[in-house]
Amino acid sequence: MENLLTIKDLSLADIKELLMITEKLKQEKDRELYLKGKSLGMIFAKSSTRTRVSFETGIYQLGGQGIFLSSQDIQLGRGESIADTAKVLSRYIDGVMIRTFDQHEVEKLATASSIPIINGLTDKYHPCQALADLFTIKEKKGKLNELKLAYVGDGNNMAHSLLLAATKVGMDIAVATPQDYAPQNEVVKIAKRFAQQNGSQVELLTDVKEAAKSADVIYTDVWASMGDEDEAEERKLKFADYQVNQEIMDLANEEVIFMHCLPAHRGEEVTADVIDSRQSVVFDQAENRLHLQKGVMVKLMA
């Protein structure tokens, strides 16, 4: 494991090791020597709360420093090639986290860099979030295999990453989306291959209630992701039947947990009574981004 670009590139052993490192780092108090003297460049073409604060705090807790690099503040935003930027940064720092729109930009950066590249989010994948979600589910349920995750809403970067993450660890996953908002076929094919290898199942549905039946985890995301704001009103109409409410939660297993990668729009994709209920683990999820990303940095940069 040289980079973290997408979960499809990770082996099951990689994932297990990351979760073990994360658990250790979450419990440890004396952790500041792991990345002492190391620097992480953080390129942001998309703004963020959780990604920026968790990476910047995480590298600090490990003894290193984070350098915030807005795409408008570096030459990448003024026409310098990704390859040239990658080669220069490789001479200065020890790793790069990039949060941007196009997955190909992340892959080009990794190809030209001699330092580890971490995908902090693209329009196609959100691997750090999905790995932190696996860690949270294991914390709450004690295992990952033989569970069912139901994802409800837009077939976006979260749906893609959860499809890959769940099937890599032997977890069943049902994805319920409106007809025109299903996950990309390319990603679904890869997830089904992983599912066959690891003894799990993938279901693509349009019926939320069917997806929620017997689920151990119900997960949703905003209906209009960053970059889709101009479609927000149209999506509200098309996604009106894809809200996670208590009726949907009641169809799942008795000990079901609710997850959301945040930020959440209460009253749209999830009702306030669900996200604020005892079944909700959304803030544990958010905290675990910090710990998982520390695990990723230790694995790649130590």
- When pLDDT is averaged across residues 97-110 and rounded to a whole number, the result is 96
12-126+286-301: CATH homologous superfamily?
A: Aspartate/ornithine carbamoyltransferase (3.40.50.1370)
The one catalytic residue among 94, 103, 129, 243: 129
* pLDDT tens profile 149-168: 999 999 999 999 999 999 99
Q: How confident is the model at residue 246 (pLDDT cuts 50, 70, 90)?
A: very high
Task: Judge whether residue 226 has pLDDT over 90.
Answer: no
Q: Catalytic residue at 126?
A: yes
Q: Is 129 a catalytic residue?
A: yes
- 3 state SS of 39: strand
Task: Give the pLDDT confidence of 31-64 residue by residue, as tens digits.
Answer: 778 999 999 999 999 989 999 999 999 999 999 9
Is 280 annotated for ligand binding?
no
**Residue 30: is its pLDDT beyond 80?**
no
> In angstroms, rounded to a whole number, what is the distance separating the alpha carbons of residues 71 and 75?
8
Average pLDDT over residues 109-114: 97
Catalytic site residue from 94, 99, 216, 285:
99
* Annotated active-site residue in 133, 154, 172, 221: 221
Is 262 marked as a binding-site residue? yes
Share above pLDDT 90 across residues of the chain, in percent, rounded to a whole number = 91
129-283: in CATH 3.40.50.970: no
Which residue reads 């993450």 in tokens? 165
d(CA 118, CA 94): 12
176 forms bridges with which residues in the sheet?
152, 205
Indicate if 228 belongs to the active site. no
Give me the sign of the Cα torsion angle 135, 140, 142, 145: negative
Catalytic annotation present for 289: yes
pLDDT beyond 70 at 77: no
Q: Please state the rounded mean pLDDT for residues 193-214.
A: 98
Asked, colleague to colleague, whether 12-126+286-301 and 129-283 share their fold, the answer is: yes
DSSP state, residue 250: T
Q: Which of 182-186, 194-198, 229-233 has the lowest average pLDDT?
A: 229-233
What pLDDT does 231 receive? 85
* Domain ranges across the chain: 12-126+286-301, 129-283
pLDDT at 25: 95
In angstroms, the CA 249 to CA 70 distance is: 40
Between 257 and 29, residue with greater pLDDT: 257
What average pLDDT does the structure give for the chain? Answer: 95
The token pair at 189 is 């094919």
Catalytic residue among 261, 285, 291, 293: 261
42 is in an annotated binding site: no
127 is known to lie in a ligand binding site: yes
